[in-house]
Every structure is written in structure tokens, then in C-alpha cells.
Amino acid sequence: MESVNAKYVSQKISKTRWRPVSHSSLQQPDIFATGSWDNEDNKISFWSIGNHGSSGMDEGFEGDPQLLCEHKHDGDVLDLQFLDQDRIVTTSSTGAVTIFRHHQNSQTISVSQRWPRVHRYPCDNAPCTGVVCSSPEIVTVGEDGKIIVFRADQEGVIRVIENADSSTIHAVTYLRTTEILTVNSIGQLKLWDLRQQSNSPSQILSLSGDRLPLHCVDRHPNQQHIVATGGQDGMLCVWDVRQGSTPFSLMEAHSAEMWEVHFHPTNPDHLFTCSEDGSLLHWETSTHSDMPSFLQGGRNNSMISRSAMAPAGGNQSLISTWLSGDSSKGRLETTHMLPSQTLSVNSLDVLGQCLVCGTDGEAIFVNRQVPV
């Protein structure tokens, strides 16, 4: 816990994301963005952790996040993704989608593009619950069951899949360059091929038994058929979308809703989850192979970020430890990453050795020595 810095920010934090770093520079991330919710005035903020190359024996407040700039945000920030080094996309409880530009020279933020009320019911706004970006493409999902495709360089909406879901879509991520995954409030994971003009999913997988809501989804960065989800019951589900229509494995994770799940983008033997129960867990699979995980296939795009994602091929023949069946549970280690607390951990992001999370306790936690 010694390497965790806590910053109290007087606002409930709904989302945290690291700014992407250049793939070639091997630098650790040093700037992250946050969004707030359930406050009188919500805002998006940029923070710096000023990496001084210190060894974790920081004196005083050297590692504390420093506020660089902030900007008012209409409605709750329900999701936040970096489009590139300078721009972030937010989704709002008002149904709006906004691109903000961070001007690093002047440390100011401006609105560069806004699509108001794109998610809506016949007579009211519908919260826009999730976004994923692969610049210039932006895909959003909402409580209205719509999937909407935008381009950052165009003013209009590119495509709307009007009745993509009869229930709330809670989250979206890329599976491959032209395919996305969505999770909904009745325990379904749906695959969509955006090359097809069809308004129907190409595949539907679902939880068996009680169809509890799924809140979050992430795809293994090297082996795109492996997907992790979390939901209302706090269980971690791992799916193999190539086979079967139900989760490959279910693991007890949290005692309340799981809000986010993220594979480590370059070392996916590590996975992180956070929950309404106030905990943040680090999951680690002990791999069979002595081959370092960075050789086990990977992305070759020039930027690494949580949302980036048109993945490269990677070596698909290697069997992932996440799909080793029930016996893999014995090879899974979980570690609590935060001091004990009672209020929800709403969001996390991990990049390199740096982890950031935001809570309803109006705190941001940063760990710069994540053991991955």
C-alpha cells in the first residue's frame, strides 16, 4: 500500500483514464483524465503525477496528482475515453457525446465537437452509458438500447442501430477493427459486425440462470476471442466467443456490483476489477509457459491506451491461462490494491506500472508500482 497516493477532490469520481503513451518510448504514463458524477456541477479534469523517476520512497507529496485544468460538464460523466493524445470523448446522463481538447501548452480545455441528445427516448433524454474509440471512429451505447457510430472529423452521425437492444446497454468495447461487443441489463453479451448493414447482432451469448445485468466488458489484448465481464452480482465472467453461448468460467470477485474490468493492455496475465463494495482487485494468472507474456502475441499499433484498439493478430494458437478451465482457479491470485474503504470504486485504468482509480468517497488513488 505504501506506493498508493490518495488525492481528495471534493467530487464523486465516475471515470478515470490514463492519457495514451507512445508505444516506442517505453515511458510510464504521467497524465490522466477524470470525470465526475452526482455533483451539483460536474466536470472533467486533467491531472499530472509528474514522474520524477523516484523509487517509491517519495518524500512528502511528490507523487500526489496535481490538477492541470478542468472544464464544466453537462450532466454526469458516464464514460470517458481518450481519442488521441490531446482529445477525450465523454458520454453524459443527458444523452450527449462530447469531444474535449486538452491544450497542453496553455493547460486549458475546449469543446471541439458535441452531439447533444443523440441518445433519447420519445419524450426525454436517455443516458449515454458507454463509448469506445478507434480514431477517428467513435461508438456509443445508451439506456435507449441504441448503438451510434460517429467520426471525430464529421459533424453528423454516421450510423444508428436503432433497436440494437430492448434493454439498457451498459458498456461497449472493440472485439476487432470492425466488430464491437456490448453488454446489457439482462445478462447478454452481443457481438456486432459494423461492416454489415444488418441491425441484428452476429452472435449473442448470455448468462444462464438469473439474467442479472452485466455492467462492464473488456477484451484480451492479444487473444480477441477471450472476453471478461462483470455485473450486478460481483462475479467475474470469462468468455470464449468462439465457442459456447455461456461464460467459460465464473469467479467470485466482489460482494456488490462490479463496475469495471480491465486486462492489463500489455501484460494480460494480469486483470483488474473494481466494485460498489469499495474494493479494487488485481487478478494474476500464473502462466504455464516460461515465455514472457510480451512475446505471446500483441498489438503493434503505435499508441497504447485503454480504448485504442484495433488489435494486431498476435499468436492465436497459444492457450490462454484464462481459458484453462476450473483448474485455473487454483492458479489465480487476487490482491486487494486499496486500503479498506466502504464507498464505491467506480472506475480504474492501468497502463505500464501505473494504476488510477476514482471513488464515491471523492478520492482518486494512484499506484505507480503495480507489480505486472
Among residues 127, 19, 112, 140, which one has the least CA distance to residue 76?
Answer: 127
Average of pLDDT values for 123-129?
96
Identify the pLDDT of residue 287.
Answer: 57
Reported as a single tens digit per residue, the pLDDT across 188-226 is: 999 999 999 999 999 999 998 888 999 999 999 999 999
Give the three-state DSSP class for 98: strand
- Inter-residue long-range contacts of 159-165, CB under 8 Å, 24+ positions, other chains counted: 159/194, 161/192, 161/199, 162/199, 163/199, 164/190, 164/192, 164/199, 164/201, 165/190
The predicted model scores a pTM of 0.88
Percent of the chain surpassing pLDDT 90 = 75
Query: Alpha-carbon Rg of the chain, whole angstroms?
Result: 19
Which has the closest alpha carbon to 259: 332, 344, 140, 342?
344
Instruction: Dump pLDDT digits (tens) for 269-315.
Output: 999 999 999 999 999 987 544 433 333 333 323 334 433 333 333 33
Per-residue model confidence (pLDDT) at position 2? 59
pLDDT band per the 50, 70, 90 thresholds, residue 50: confident
Q: What is the mean pLDDT of the chain?
A: 87
CA-to-CA separations, 18 to 155, 350, 366, in angstroms, rounded: 27, 7, 11
pLDDT at 24: 65
Cα–Cα dist 264/284, whole Å: 10
